[in-house]
């Protein structure tokens, strides 16, 4: 009887899974695959949430039992390589502002997973604008503010949404992480000294744990994982001198570094390229206030891209609304400053997928990858164009016109 019950249960589970699996075909007047190829018209065939076929419309047979969505233009689902959405909320009130804990300068033990709200309105807002994957978590503002995660912009629970519960560790160098008064840290030297000391403590902690000594420490445990190469340290930094400090720290402690923000990156192209460090560049239209961002340029993303440096545009973080920007519009602003269509699209599709280590699943429309698409009624980067739908793993999660 127990065996029969088990078999019935497994059959029911299989039936449920097959019902939940998403089969869909998208026929686009122009299909941008994100690989540099485009088809006019083109078709993407999705089975069980995964791309089964993609190419010119006349080369792909669409089964009669498959739903077909016809649109003027389609691209891969867009990727925001760094924001705080899901921790920072649209209400901009204390109850939905979990992106930054300021009780201490160094808190690597804080998990984005424990604060992420997949039903937050800002998550839906990004989804309605074609963004299917986000790298989100704790905001800049402290020397180490906490962990980050990667999620799809769908799902009612964290388990349904999150792809990687821990991706990296968010850190900050420069004015944002200092107080310039009697509190700690009050200067750049102090903030870097605090960070170095904590990394040294993490090295010792790792040695002790290998020897079976000492008790578990969540803060040092996370830093030890960074030092072991399990997670990158994502350093929000803008000024050229602070960027060099971040590069020195990465060299000294041999951890994986990602530069975030990086307004002065175009002043250090050779140094960044030699270090092999990716750049999560600031939103193109960020509010360039203060001396840290005085060298801000609309051309930085393109210059890094053309220099062979991995670079993607982030939605970023602002302490006031809109909290995070829509990367579709940020990428569009690179076109008047010299970027081609494919270069701009890469900044929010294939490049962030590579940087986040997910290019086998997202970032382009290729067989075997997730069926994630953004749908448009015209040129995606044209001001008058609307996003008319978003598809995640074969499911149309938005049909809004934005």
CA atoms within 13 A on the CB side of 185: 22
CA angle 281, 282, 286 (to 5 degrees): 160
Give the whole-angstrom CA distance, residue 347 versus residue 354: 11
Mean pLDDT, residues 374-401 taken together: 97
* % of the chain residues with pLDDT over 70: 94
Class of domain 2-75+392-398: mainly beta
Closest CA to 309 of 341, 340, 348, 277: 277
Closest CA to 308 of 344, 263, 338, 278: 278
Mean pLDDT, residues 47-54 taken together: 98
pLDDT value for 180: 60
pLDDT value for 16: 32
Q: How confident is the model at residue 323 (pLDDT cuts 50, 70, 90)?
A: confident
Residues of each domain in the chain carrying CATH 2.30.40: 2-75+392-398
Is the pLDDT at 210 greater than 60? The verdict is yes
DSSP assignment of 176-227: GG--SSSSSS-SHHHHHHHHHHHHHHHHHHHHHHHTT-S---HHHHHHHHHH
Is the pLDDT at 11 greater than 70? The verdict is no
Centre a 10 Å sphere on the Cβ of residue 68 and count the other Cβ atoms it contains. Answer: 13
Is the pLDDT at 8 greater than 50? The verdict is no
DSSP assignment of 372-393: -EEEESS-TTSTT--EEEEEET
Average pLDDT, the chain: 93
Is the pLDDT at 155 greater than 60? The verdict is yes
Is the pLDDT at 15 greater than 50? The verdict is no
pLDDT value for 181: 65
CA distance to 17, 88, 140, per residue, from 14 (Å) = 5, 38, 44
Query: 78-362, superfamily in CATH?
Result: Metal-dependent hydrolases (3.20.20.140)
Do residues 335 and 346 touch, judged by C-beta distance below 8 A?
no
pLDDT value for 2: 38
Strands 387-392, 78-83: parallel, antiparallel or unpaired by DSSP?
unpaired
Element at 19 (helix H, strand E):
helix 2-20
pLDDT digits (tens, 9 = 90+) for 165-197: 999 999 999 998 987 665 789 999 999 999 999
Do residues 305 and 355 touch, judged by C-beta distance below 8 A?
no
Residues of each domain in the chain carrying CATH 3.20.20.140: 78-362
pLDDT value for 182: 59
Tokens of 168: 């990296």
Among 129-138, 288-297, 299-308, the least confident range: 288-297
Dihedral angle, C-alpha 340, 343, 344, 349, nearest 10 °: 150
Q: Write down the pTM of the prediction.
A: 0.93
Give the whole-angstrom CA distance, residue 219 versus residue 50: 38
Q: Which residues contact 122 (CB under 8 A, 6 or more apart)?
A: 85, 86, 88, 89, 90, 323, 324
Q: Return the residue matching tokens 């739908």.
A: 389
pLDDT digits (tens, 9 = 90+) for 233-250: 999 999 999 999 999 999
- Backbone dihedral angles phi then psi of residue 35, each to the nearest 5 degrees: -105, 0
Q: How confident is the model at residue 378 (pLDDT cuts 50, 70, 90)?
A: very high
Q: How confident is the model at residue 19 (pLDDT cuts 50, 70, 90)?
A: very low
Tokens of 243: 């960027």
Tokens of 205: 């902690």
Mean pLDDT, residues 139-168 taken together: 97
- Backbone dihedral angles phi then psi of residue 276, each to the nearest 5 degrees: 70, 35
Centre a 10 Å sphere on the Cβ of residue 96 and count the other Cβ atoms it contains. Answer: 18
């Amino acid at each position: 009887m127990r065996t029969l019950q088990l078999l019935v249960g497994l059959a029911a589970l299989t039936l449920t899974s097959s019902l939940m699996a998403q089969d869909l075909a998208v026929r686009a007047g122009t299909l941008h695959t994100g690989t540099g190829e485009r088809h006019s018209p083109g078709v993407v065939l999705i089975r069980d949430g995964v791309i089964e076929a993609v190419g010119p419309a006349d080369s792909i047979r669409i089964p009669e039992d498959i739903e077909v969505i016809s649109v003027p233009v389609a691209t891969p689902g867009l990727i925001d390589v760094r924001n705080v959405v899901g921790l920072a909320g649209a209400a901009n009130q204390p109850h939905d502002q979990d992106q930054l804990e300021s009780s201490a300068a160094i808190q690597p033990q804080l998990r984005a997973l424990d604060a992420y709200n997949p039903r937050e309105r800002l998550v839906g807002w990004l989804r309605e604008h074609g963004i299917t994957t986000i790298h989100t978590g704790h905001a800049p503002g402290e020397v180490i503010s906490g962990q980050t995660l990667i999620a799809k912009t769908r799902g009612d629970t964290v388990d349904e949404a999150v792809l990687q519960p821990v991706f990296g560790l968010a850190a900050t160098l420069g004015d944002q992480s200092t107080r310039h008064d009697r509190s700690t840290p009050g200067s750049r030297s102090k903030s870097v000294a605090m960070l170095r000391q904590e990394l040294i403590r993490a090295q010792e902690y790792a040695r002790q744990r290998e020897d079976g000594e000492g008790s578990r420490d969540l803060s040092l445990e996370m830093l030890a994982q960074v030092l072991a190469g399990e997670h990158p340290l994502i350093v929000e930094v803008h000024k050229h001198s602070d960027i060099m400090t971040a590069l020195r720290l990465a060299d000294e402690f041999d951890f994986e570094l990602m530069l975030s923000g990086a307004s002065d990156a175009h002043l250090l192209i050779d140094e960044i390229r030699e270090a092999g460090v990716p750049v999560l560049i600031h939103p193109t239209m960020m509010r360039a206030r203060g001396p840290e961002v005085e060298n801000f340029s609309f051309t930085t993303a393109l210059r890094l891209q053309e220099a062979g440096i991995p670079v993607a545009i982030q939605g970023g973080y602002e302490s006031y609304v809109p909290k995070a920007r829509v990367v579709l519009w940020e990428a569009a602003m690179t076109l008047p400053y010299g970027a081609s269509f494919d270069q701009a699209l890469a900044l929010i599709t294939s490049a962030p997928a590579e940087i986040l280590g997910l290019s086998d699943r997202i970032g382009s429309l290729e067989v075997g990858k997730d069926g994630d698409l953004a749908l448009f009624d015209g040129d995606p980067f044209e001001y008058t164009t609307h996003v008319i739908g978003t598809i995640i793993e074969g499911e149309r999660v938005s049909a809004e016109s934005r």
